[in-house]
Each structure stands twice: as structure tokens, then as C-alpha cells.
Structure 1
Amino acid sequence: MHDRNGLSEPIRWGVIGCGDVLERKSGPSFGQSERSRIQAVVSSDGESAARYAKVHDVSVATDDAEQVMTDPEIDAVYIASPPDTHEEFTVAAAEAGKPVLVEKPMGRSVTEGRGMINACDRAGVELFVAYYRRFHPHVEEIRSLLAEGRIGEPVSASVNYAHPRPNDSGWREMPEISGGGWFVDATSHRVDLLCHLLGAPTEATGVVRCDAGDSHTETAVSLSLAVADGVCCTVTSDFVGAGSTDRFVIRGTAGSIVAETLDSGDFTYEVAGESRSVACNQPETTHGGLLDHVEAVLLDGETNRSTGRDAIQTEAILDKCVRSVYADAIPTTVWDGSFPLTE
């Protein structure tokens, strides 16, 4: 079966990268979908692709990304490899006429993000960035409450996210590969939600701590952002302090929304002194809502709500406020311009 854009249903995906994100997050979502299936997997050494294909009954396993991207039996490409490969593979997939879903962070800089957007624009293909929390039920509910004006006009927001630094961070603390450290990898999700829920950034400043040691990446960050119509936002995050937190708050002229633990799926909103609790079931698979959305865009013609132009707003904040501290370690031009960022 084919849709009106010539894509098969289920969509046949070529996946580049067979690491942790595919195994634990996106892979289970593909496995439960009736409208998508993984047709081919690629890894740089070919071995992890072969292992994944054997366990998950995938037809093709290879170390040749170009072979997969140009294969007429592949409808779309999912890039789950480290960020230093995102621009190269996105451009190649777009030139092969394939829509692209790319993991976050989008790239290592605004410069790379622009290259990805331009390539997909030239080819006339969709570009999705995997900020999957946008499609989690509790975030959709918060978005609806804001759209309905339940807490009045948003005035301020705050994010406090922290967890102990993992003992083995691997490439996530190698800026030349990852484009940053744990803030860029994990807290970027929360920065994206501020932009998604409240609007594009108009101002951004940051203070960054980088501890001595093998890694030159951020260990603690404090950002101040202004978005949309002057909503003031703060984001604090650390990966060296004791304990963990994931608090997300939006305050408005008539009330507030408070998620004491964002990923729990529970939050409260207070209006006129009355507090109401909202509990949303967490999705069975991390990327499930995102993949449902991607399928709806590609097969049903819905509007993309996680575009490259959405994601590049977060890239600009990361470039100006975080990556500028260790820009010499990143082999690409880090943007240090003024907001608002226009594309």
C-alpha cells in the first residue's frame, strides 16, 4: 500500500546508528507501530547493526550508509548516530529524496542546523528533530491549558534539571563529537519545551561551569531567556551536585502550572487559589508519540510540529550560552549572533 506521496505503508525506515537510543527508546516504538517498520540498520563497524538485525528481525544490516539512503526500498531515514554525523547524513538522505528524522541535538551548531534545513528545503523533504517530549500526553495537556488561557498570560517559567554525572559518559563529553556535554544532551529537551510551549527566544544569556579534568564540557549551567512576548525564563542544571531534580514551572497572570517531576507525567495547575492535579499516563515507549506524529505527517498530510526550524531555536541558545565556552573544541562555526534567530 502506498500513500499519496508515494511512501509505502508501513513506512520502510533505514536507521543509521545502532546505539543506546535505538535499543532503549526509539527501537521499541518502531516495534509497536503498525505504520512503520525498520527495513535496514547501519553502524560504522557493521557489527552492532548485525547484532541488532538478528535480534529484531531486520532485513538489512550494513556499514554502508549511502547504500541504505539510496535504496529505493527505503522510504525514510532515521539518524540515530552521534551529532557529528547529523549534517552529513541528513544532507545525503535529503539528496536521495528521503524524509529525515534526526536525533537531538540537531547538530553541533546553528551552522550545521542551517545546512540540514537548507538541504531538506532544496529536496522538498520533511525534516523532523526527535524532541519527543513535545508529544508526551502531559506536555500536550499543558500546551492545551496554555492555549485556552487557563493560567492567563504567561509571565515567567523556570526549569531545574540535575542528575549525577554518569561514570561512563563516552562521546557525550567529547564536544568534537557531541557538540556539548550533558546540558546539551539532556537539558536541551527542557529548553526545547520552553520554546515549544511559550515561543521562540528573543534574548539569551548564560553562565557555565566547566570542571577541570578530561572533559571540557559543562558541569553546571544557568541560563536566562526571554521568549515570545517577553516571558522571562530561567534554566538551571548541574551534573556534579548530589541528588536529582526535574522541576518545570510556568507562571501566568491568573495561575500557574507546576510539574515537580516533569517526566512523571503528573502536574498541578492553580487558578484563583484552587489547585488541581492532572495525572497523565506515560507513553508505553519513549518515542511513541513522536513516531505517531511523523507517520501522520508523512502518510496523512498533517503539519510537522517538530521541524528543523523549531529545533534550531534551541541550537541557537546552546551556541550562544553554552558552546561558546568551549567553541575551540567544536570543529564547526558556533553562532554568537543576536536574537531573534531567523531562518
Structure 2
Amino acid sequence: MLERKDIQEVKWGIIGCGDVTEKKSGPAFNKVADSTLIAVMRRDGAKAKDYATRHGVSKWYDNANQLIDDPDVNAIYIATPPLQHEDYTLRALAAGKPVYVEKPMTLNAASAIRMKEAAEKHKVKLSVAHYRRAQPMFLKIKSLLDAKAIGTVKLVQLQMLQPENSNLIADSDTNWRLDPTISGGGLFHDLAPHQLDLMIHFFGEAVKSSGISLNQGSPHGVDDMVTGHILFKNGVVFNGSWCFSVAEHVDICEIIGNEGKISFPMFGNKVTISKSGDDEEFIFDALPHVQQPMIEQVVKYFLGKAGNPCDADQAIQSMQLMDSFTKK
């Protein structure tokens, strides 16, 4: 997809400079070659100004249209809660500004499809922040699978069990992740996009999926128990369980092949390969800014130097899986 004009340097504007941008993503925009963060926006102007001051950003706004219309900004990172993703993406694309939008891409698959169609209509680039696929740990897992280190993959078993106040959730001013009108659901909709996107990245197209979703006790009225089952086109079967009302902290994914098994947490740093009774471990250093590897790839994509590291079609697939697990 071509841009309306060539970009020599990506000059970013952030819409929604909240807690997720403080360390995970925001600083990385100035650490990547040919990339600079020049403007931020938050509806609370005092907080936007504070963020800009602390991070050395030259401009701040309390109105998204003003940031989008800033002639110095040529790319937009949307880091608001999911409720606003579609609206801000459509506005930025209509202005001819390429968009990097946070995961989950939006509230549901229908909304994601509209975002994709807008990018195609305006001929403007759109990339989704499924950033784990660019991190060294998951690149290693992908390389092991591609090399058939455990033979032919047959089955994936995933468990994510957490208390309601899970420390895997980023801090925020309000508990918006437990408001389905803002997040799309409960904590499942915040954490599962990471996991399901990796399954799509590892195994390709899903041909069948179903699940169960219910509230087993959350006082917020959101579903805190989700199970999901996927059959991939290549024959791999996935079974996943997410529960956010238990005392345990369990985060484990097991990819099982006919010659061994790869085990790893989604929010950890160790990969274990088990074959013939022997284990081999790979330990990865924590990243200071977890999105930096993905931002590097997105910058190259926006500059026309590489392909899209996560396009709308791929992100739509993860939205469709979540919809199929949680539909009533």
C-alpha cells in the first residue's frame, strides 16, 4: 500500500498518552532510527502537558483532531482504550496519516473490518500493536517451530489463571478494563489478544473456533471465565482457559509435537524444549521498552523499507477468535 507522499522520517503523534505509554512504548519512539515522538494528546490537558514535559515532547494537545491535523505529525500511534480505536483510526486515515493502533485492534471483528476498509479506501498504512511477535523470545519460538525442533505440532494447551487484581494488567486511572463498553469485555479482552495473535502468527489460519464465556463471580458483572478451542487449517488443535477469579497465578503455554514439547509463559522470559526426557532452556533478558522491537519494524514499514509486521487481516483474525469464544 502506497502513501500519498514519501516519508523520510516518522514523526509520531500519540493519541492517549496514558500509563501504557510511560515505559512500554512511548520512550521507544525516540530510540528507533528515523523515528521521533513530537506530539502527544490526552483529553485531560494537564496530564498531556505533564507527559510532554517529563518525556521531552515538544507539543501536547487535549483534542485529537488538533494532533491529527498538525502538519509536523506524519504518523499516529493510538493508545487509548479500545472503545476509541476505530473512531481515531478512521480520522487519522482520512487525514492521510499512517496508524499504529494498540491491541486489541478494537471492540470486535466488525469494527476491525471497518478500520481495514478505511485504510484500503484512503490508501494509507495501518499496523496493529501485537508486539510480542517481534520480541526475541517469541522470535526464538517461531524459529524452533519453523525448524521442526519438536517435529510436527499436534496440540497447544494454554492456561492463564489470575486473581481479579492481576499484576499483569497495566496501571490506569480507572478500572476501564472491567467495563465491556470500553474494553470489549473483561480482563480476557486485554490479555488474550497477545496470546491468540501469537497462535495465528505461529500456525496460520483458523478454520473453526468456539468457546464458553461466563461470569463466575466478578462483582463488576463481566465474564471472568473463558475457554476457547481452535482448529487451524494445518491441523493443529488449540485449547485455552482464562480465569480471573482464582488465587493462583498460572501462565503457561505448551506446544506439543510428535517429537517433543515447547513450554513458555506469555508474560515471562524462559522457553523450555523437552525431548526424549531431556530439557533445554533459553532465558531472555527483560526489555526496557517491550514494544521497541515492533516499533522498529513499523517504522521500517511506514518508510517503505519492510513489510507490515502485523496487518489488519491478521488482527481481524484474533478479534474473530475472541468473538467466537465470548458470544452468547
Tell me the TM-score normalized by structure 1.
0.88
Contact 2:23 2:288 in 1 (8 A): no
Cα distance in structure 1, aligned partners of 2:145 and 2:88:
37
User: Corresponding residue for 2:47?
Assistant: 48
The one-character-per-residue Cα deviations of 1:58-109 (angstroms, maximum 9, x if unpaired) are 1111112112112221110000011111111111111111111101111111
Greater Cα offset, 203-212 or 48-57: 203-212
User: Corresponding residue for 1:136?
Assistant: 135
For structure 2, the residue ranges without an aligned partner over 5 or more in a row are 167-171
Q: Which letter maps to 1:185?
A: D
1:288 aligns with 2:287: no
User: Corresponding residue for 1:118?
Assistant: 117
Q: Which letter maps to 1:320?
A: S
Contact 1:4 1:299 in 2 (8 A): no
Q: Which letter maps to 2:292?
A: G
1:246 aligns with 2:251: yes
Shift of 1:299: 2.3
Shift of 1:181: 0.8
Which of these residues, 256, 262, 276, is aligned with residue 261 of structure 2?
256
Contact 2:27 2:55 in 1 (8 A): no
Shift of 1:171: 1.0
Q: Which letter maps to 2:262?
A: I
Q: Which letter maps to 1:253?
A: N
Contact 1:191 1:235 in 2 (8 A): no
Cα distance in structure 2, aligned partners of 1:70 and 1:4:
15
Q: Are residues 125 and 44 of structure 1, via their aligned partners in 2, closer, same or farther at CA, if it must alter by over 3 Å?
A: same
1:107 aligns with 2:106: yes
Cα distance in structure 2, aligned partners of 1:277 and 1:23:
32
Cα distance in structure 1, aligned partners of 2:267 and 2:183:
24
User: Corresponding residue for 1:90?
Assistant: 89
Greater Cα offset, 12-21 or 165-174: 165-174
1:303 aligns with 2:302: no
Q: Which letter maps to 2:8?
A: S
Give the match's secondary structure for 2:308: coil
Equivalence map 1:1-343=2 (5 Å):
6-9=6-9, 11-166=10-165, 170-212=175-217, 214-259=219-264, 261-322=265-326, 324-325=327-328
Q: Are residues 138 and 152 of structure 1, via their aligned partners in 2, closer, same or farther at CA, if it must alter by over 3 Å?
A: same
Q: Are residues 280 and 64 of structure 1, via their aligned partners in 2, closer, same or farther at CA, if it must alter by over 3 Å?
A: same
Contact 1:162 1:243 in 2 (8 A): yes
Give the match's secondary structure for 2:124: coil
Contact 2:218 2:224 in 1 (8 A): no
Cα distance in structure 2, aligned partners of 1:28 and 1:307:
23
Q: Which letter maps to 1:68?
A: L
Contact 2:212 2:228 in 1 (8 A): yes
Cα distance in structure 1, aligned partners of 2:232 and 2:309:
18
Shift of 1:273: 4.2
Give the match's secondary structure for 1:151: coil
The one-character-per-residue Cα deviations of 1:118-177 (angstroms, maximum 9, x if unpaired) are 111112222111111111111001101111122121111011112211298611111111
Contact 2:260 2:273 in 1 (8 A): yes
Cα distance in structure 2, aligned partners of 1:125 and 1:151:
40
Cα distance in structure 1, aligned partners of 2:289 and 2:23:
9
For structure 1, the residue ranges without an aligned partner over 5 or more in a row are 326-343
Q: Which letter maps to 1:290?
A: M
The one-character-per-residue Cα deviations of 1:277-322 (angstroms, maximum 9, x if unpaired) are 2222232211111111111212252111211111111100111211
Greater Cα offset, 250-259 or 104-113: 250-259
Give the match's secondary structure for 2:267: helix
Cα distance in structure 1, aligned partners of 2:4 and 2:90:
24
Shift of 1:212: 5.0
Shift of 1:209: 2.5
Greater Cα offset, 67-76 or 159-168: 159-168
Q: Which runs of 4+ in 1 moved over 6 A?
A: none
Greater Cα offset, 142-151 or 272-281: 272-281
Shift of 1:31: 4.0
Tell me the TM-score normalized by structure 2.
0.92
